[in-house]
Amino acid sequence: MSNQENSFVGFEYMEVPAKRSMESMYVDSYRSFGWVFEGPSAREESGDTVKLRFKRERRLRGQAELTRLQRQFESCAREIEALERSRTTAASIAAFTIGLTGTALLGGAVFAYLNGLLPMMVSLAVPGFLGWIIPYFSYQKLRQRREKQLSPLIEQKYDEIYTLCEQGCRLLTA
């Protein structure tokens, strides 16, 4: 055996929580910063998130710069996750509000019917039923509009991530 085969290599370890939909991006990107993917942590897998385990040599050339690039990557990844979540937030709030208003109007229609106020019952029931029908269509419309607004921002963040990964790869191969 040669002397290099017996030499000690120290590693540092890291666990990263990630959404399952972004797991591949995290695995591919962290490789650019010197990390080796060890696999998902089986005990931490639950629902939509998984913990990813990585390791890398403690003594890398340019480790400070790699760490800086890695922090920028993590920031961009969090921004992408936030933008993805915000696609449906406003649409959900609007749909719930319309549905709740429709429910209140139908409740008023029931009380009007019980008190014998038939014209008032009809005037409350029609918008109440519409308040149960319209949320689906308003949700779809608002979500599509929001996706159209966010798609360029998300693509811009992905481009930024690719640039950071390229810089990290150049540091590792230099």
| C-alpha–C-alpha distance, residues 105 and 111, integer Å | 10
pLDDT above 50: residue 1: no
| C-alpha–C-alpha distance, residues 95 and 69, integer Å | 40
| C-alpha–C-alpha distance, residues 139 and 142, integer Å | 5
pLDDT above 70: residue 112: yes
Percentage of the chain modeled with pLDDT above 70:
93
- Express each pLDDT in 29-59 by its tens digit: 989 888 888 878 755 555 788 888 888 888 8
Average pLDDT for residues 147-156, to the nearest whole number? 94
Residue 57 β-bridge partners: 11
Counts of helices then strands in the chain (DSSP H, E): 3, 3
- pTM given for the model: 0.74
- Is there a contact between 63 and 111 (Cβ–Cβ < 8 Å)? no
Cβ neighbour number for residue 6 with a 10 Å cutoff:
7
Classified as helix, coil or strand, 69 is helix
pLDDT above 70: residue 104: yes
| C-alpha–C-alpha distance, residues 125 and 122, integer Å | 5
Average pLDDT for residues 126-146, to the nearest whole number? 94
Average pLDDT for residues 101-117, to the nearest whole number? 93
Average pLDDT for residues 92-121, to the nearest whole number? 94
pLDDT above 60: residue 2: no
Average pLDDT for residues 93-112, to the nearest whole number? 95
Which are the contacts of 65, defined by CB distance < 8 A and separation ≥ 6?
A: 171
Average pLDDT for residues 150-154, to the nearest whole number? 93
Percent helix, strand and coil across the chain, each to the nearest 5 = 70, 15, 15
Q: Which residue has the higher pLDDT, 162 or 174?
A: 162
Average pLDDT for residues 156-163, to the nearest whole number? 94
Dihedral pair phi/psi, residue 47, rounded to 5°: 60, -125
